A and B are shown apart, each in its own frame.
Chain A
Amino acid sequence: MTTVEAPSYKKADFVSDQEVRWCPGCGDYAILNAVQQTFAKLGVSKEKFVCVSGIGCSSRFPYYADTFGFHSIHGRAPAVATGIKVANPDLSVWIITGDGDALSIGGNHIIHAMRRNLDMNVLLFNNRIYGLTKGQYSPTSEINKKTPSSPFGSVDQPFNPIALALGSGATFVARSVDTQAAHLKGVLEAAHAHKGFSFVEILQNCVIYNNKAFEHITDKTIRHDRQVDLQAGKPMVYGKDLDKGLKILPDSIINCPPEEASTWRTDGPAGANAFRICQASESGEIPVPFGILRQVNRPVFETDLHLQIQATTQNLGQGTLENLLMEGETWQVS
């Protein structure tokens, strides 16, 4: 018996020869860096990674990662990725998308990929703006957003991507941010380890069209008070010295002393608390949830699909062309 050694890579092994063409200062650089570092650590053979994207700034990502890559068409990355993963479940499939790509034009594909629970990962770069088309409001832009296509303010209600993922039945739902590399890499590793559909929202700053959109959450001076990093089985505490806590009550989630904090569960019934905390945090009274909001096990689509093929083949025997053609009534003419 031979032992297969886990391949050892460096970040440089995942850097392609293509010049990166994002704007200087774009949050995408930090995410690319974190993903490349994470890929190198996962113990997966390099040729098994496939990055699939749609259209938008974030969707240029595959060109910059030295893996197999597919820069598809607007919104359709989850559909292309589904074909890839089903045809070869052995591959590690990563969908790179943005708030417009995934939640507007591709909304239908993302929700269905989540309900099916394929074992793939979605990295949704949320900058709350259309960058590549020069600054129109997106489905995650706050209401009354003034942009070239909404000069008097947008009247659209935004999506909460986490709530959408929870509602669609994603089995792993997490949030991180471009500027906190260590946290982001931890979430990416957990997403990879999860057997099922992993939805990761990454708050990402667009320096040109929506600069500092997340400053009220991510600025170094306040972020400890505005973020709570949720970890399964751990108390819901936050603050620079972890001196604040959150308590889940039947009808609300409130601030409390750390020793009274509730324990976070990622597998609660129907994700009810995850849904409550991601909605409640929008009011500003409690911090914004980061980390892993939900993680449960559910049958994986491509596994069941191939098991059904195997079982059918076992029952009926390997199909031959001859059997197929002779199916039903036949007769001889001589």
Chain B
Amino acid sequence: MTSAAPSDPSVETLEEVVIRFAGDSGDGMQLTGNQFTSTSAALGNDLATFPDYPAEIRAPAGSLFGVSGFQLRFSSKDIHTPGDAPDVLVAMNPAALKMNLPDLKPGGLLIVNTGNFNKSDLKKAKYDANPLDDEALAADYTLVKLDLNEATVQAVEGLGLTNKEALRCKNFLALGMLYWVYSRPLETTEKWIDKKFGAKPKFREANLKALRAGHTIGENSEIFQARFAVPPAKLEAGTYRNIMGNPAVAMGLVAGSSLCELPIFYGTYPITPASDILHYLSRYKNHGVITFQAEDEIAGICSAIGASFTGALGVTGTSGPGMALKSEALGLAVMTELPLVVVNVQRGGPSTGLPTKTEQADLLQSIWGRNGECPIPVLAAQSPGDCFWAAIEAVRMAVTYMTPVILLTDGYLANGAEPWKLPKLEELERIPVRFHTDPENYQPFSRDPVTLARPWAKPGTPGLEHRIGGLEKRDVTGNVDYDPLNHEKMVGLREQKVMGIADSYPATEVYGPERGKVLVLGWGSTYGAIRGAVERALDAGLPVAQCHVRNLWPLPKDLGEVLKRFDQVLIPEMNRGQLARVIRSEYLIEVESFPKVQGRPFTAVEILERVKTLLG
């Protein structure tokens, strides 16, 4: 074992570090970041990650728009965001340097691969002169210049790799180096390389050599002036794993299906950044999961509706543009009152927008974006791990109230990672589902007196033959009916049913003082940044609190009362103020909207600054 113990006097202990890896989209930066994440998770750090990559699969090498980044923050404390400004930037080429340098903390560690700084690389990054020649760079940052290309080629010499193949290992060399700087063991990554390249011994060997060479360079070359350690975080006792939002949704859906004892039918069409949910679910065949890659978004949702009619748990997943295509079918699910879970992994819009970037601009679409009076409950997950719980909750609502449910996540949650404490299975609450089987007095649109749900009678049940569809239907019988007063009654019943779901919510929680000057109200993935900001504000003795809304529609019944306990309500969201509009119209109160639509998440500092401004 080559890594130093934190007790080594030459190793300085830090509370936390924020690293950003940046390079070409073909440089393996996402892989490097994920490996650093797994290693740090296994060491017991709390962590949060922010992968940020272009929509192009292999953008032209060296171009500014082809830069792929992965930021991670690992800490000995409980953290909620991937950090504000990075302490360390690893820039694999000039384009990566240009795009990311403005974010690096003054005095931060800047590791640059000089092997990719020839004239043409500089030209592609639109540099007139080599920025590494600028003395100010070394003055402003702790600059480490190293030809990683050459070092990698040397490290893998003798294995019979072509130059191109050899250079592909340079991300592992960089990783090995950083493992030395931050006192991380190599084992987790070594094991991963073993598994990944087991069938290709040449590449397995090459990547292992590059990783170890990087570590040795750190140890022997004296290019680093210091070495650091970040001790484990004090997390709640339990079993942990690293989790990202998309797999958490997939696992939550499987858990939900198991709790209500219905097989999942996941009908969907590939779309960034939601496709991973399909990828995970399609592996879970031994959990009875049926995945159906449909011919388009509309067929995805319609097949799921058909499956729900048949008594399965119909689920579909998509992102913004796909959500727009599904709108008509959502209306059908509302009209036929069938359970359905719709996961929208939001991305930058409108139209194709920013496919790989995050945004929260589909809230109003989710609540109101359909023809007719078409109420659908909407809930949002607040962290990668919370996607698991939100998915179970969506399943519960759908089958309990016989309604489509929209679950909002976003690109930031989908691909971001955090350590996640595994739930105790025995504590998961069962979701009772009862299919109607008695033909005596069966009426397809009779209602449960409490939930107002109609009975679920699946094809194949003798004596329950009935017809459903998108036309307005008579109360109770479900027969097609255009009577004016009946229509008004049915519109009311569908609305009443959905609004009644709020009766099943837990009480709204406030983090911080129960009343005060400023309440920061948020929803979805802004949770971590808001929590970070409010924690710092409270540490500074400011009268600030946080309230995070899981259920966006219907809103919690006690929310209005909570809002009134504060002088001002600040609503940061990654859109132009959509929740702010909902809150104003529902409660007739003034709120301070804090919009951000840059395709990237809020930092805690941004929110803290705005809180301070509000406090004057």
- Which residue numbers of A lie inside 8 Å of B, CB to CB? 16, 18, 45-50, 52, 55, 62-63, 66-73, 76, 78-88, 90-91, 108-109, 112, 305, 308-309, 312-313, 315-319, 321-322, 324-334
Contacts and interface: CB of A to CB of B under 8 A. Distances in A.
Contacts of A50: 459
B299 A322 contact: no
Interface of B: 38, 41-42, 44, 188, 232, 235-242, 251, 254-255, 258, 263, 265, 267, 284-288, 290, 292, 294-296, 298-299, 302-312, 314, 328-329, 331-332, 336, 421-423, 425, 458-471, 479-480
> Which of B258, B331, B336, B469 has the most C-beta atoms of chain A within 10 angstroms of its own C-beta?
B469
A180 B433 CA distance: 47
Contact of A79 (B238, B287, B298, B311): B298
B462 A47 contact: yes
B132 to A, nearest CB: 38
A67 B461 CA distance: 11
B237 A333 contact: yes
B329 A76 contact: yes
A309 to B, nearest CB: 5
A87 B241 contact: no
A6 to B, nearest CB: 15
Given A18-B480, A309-B290, 14 more contacts: A18-B479, A47-B465, A49-B465, A55-B470, A68-B465, A68-B466, A80-B303, A80-B305, A80-B306, A86-B292, A87-B263, A318-B286, A319-B288, A326-B241
> Which of B251, B302, B423 has the most C-beta atoms of chain A within 10 angstroms of its own C-beta?
B302
Contact of B469 (A62, A81, A318): A62
A329 B38 contact: yes
Contact of B292 (A48, A70, A83, A109): A83
Contacts of B461: 47
Contact of B467 (A69, A308, A309, A331): A69
A212 B318 CA distance: 46
B302 A83 contact: yes
B307 A86 contact: yes
A152 B77 CA distance: 76
A99 to B, nearest CB: 20
A332 B303 contact: no
B535 to A, nearest CB: 21
B290 A317 contact: no
A91 B237 contact: no
Given A83-B307, A309-B285, A321 B299 contact: no
B467 A84 contact: no
Nearest to B464: A47
A317 B285 CA distance: 10
18 contacts: A49-B465, A67-B465, A68-B464, A68-B465, A68-B467, A70-B306, A73-B331, A76-B298, A83-B312, A87-B307, A87-B312, A88-B459, A305-B290, A308-B285, A313-B285, A324-B254, A331-B42, A334-B237
Closest 10 CB pairs of A and B: A83-B306, A71-B469, A83-B303, A79-B302, A69-B467, A319-B287, A79-B299, A83-B307, A112-B295, A80-B306
A48 B463 CA distance: 11
A329 B238 contact: no
B151 to A, nearest CB: 29
A55 B105 CA distance: 61
Contacts of B288: 309, 313, 319
B299 A76 contact: yes
A120 B263 CA distance: 22
Contact of B304 (A67, A73, A83, A109): A83
A94 to B, nearest CB: 12
Nearest to B235: A333
Contact of A88 (B310, B464, B480): B310
A78 B292 CA distance: 14
Nearest to A334: B237
Contacts of B458: 88
A322 B258 CA distance: 11
B285 to A, nearest CB: 4
B469 A91 contact: no
Contacts of B188: 329
Given A72-B469, A80-B305, A328 B290 contact: no
A62 B465 CA distance: 11
Nearest to A48: B460
B299 A88 contact: no
A248 to B, nearest CB: 34
Contacts of B303: 79-80, 82-83, 86
Nearest to B312: A87
A81 B285 contact: no
A83 B314 contact: yes
Contact of A324 (B236, B284, B479): B284
A334 B311 CA distance: 43
> Which of B237, B299, B462, B479 has the most C-beta atoms of chain A within 10 angstroms of its own C-beta?
B299
A70 B314 CA distance: 16
A68 B459 contact: yes
Contacts of B287: 319, 324
Given A91-B310, A331-B44, A84 B284 contact: no
Contacts of A312: 285-286
A76 B294 CA distance: 12
Nearest to B234: A333
B240 A330 contact: yes
A187 to B, nearest CB: 24
Contacts of B421: 333
Contacts of B459: 47-48, 50, 68, 84, 88, 91
A86 B42 contact: no
Contacts of A68: 459, 464-467
Given A80-B306, A83-B303, A309-B285, A90 B239 contact: no
Contacts of B332: 72-73
Contact of A109 (B299, B425, B470): B299
A70 B469 contact: yes
A329 B242 contact: yes
Contacts of B265: 83, 86-87
Contact of A317 (B235, B242, B286): B286
A81 B288 CA distance: 20
A79 B41 contact: no
A333 to B, nearest CB: 5
Contacts of B312: 83, 87-88
Nearest to A314: B286
Nearest to A69: B467
B286 A72 contact: no
Contacts of A82: 292, 294, 299, 303, 306
B256 to A, nearest CB: 10
A36 B306 CA distance: 23
Contacts of A334: 237
B240 A333 contact: yes
Contacts of B468: 69-71
Contacts of A18: 467, 479-480
A45 B459 CA distance: 11
Contacts of B304: 83
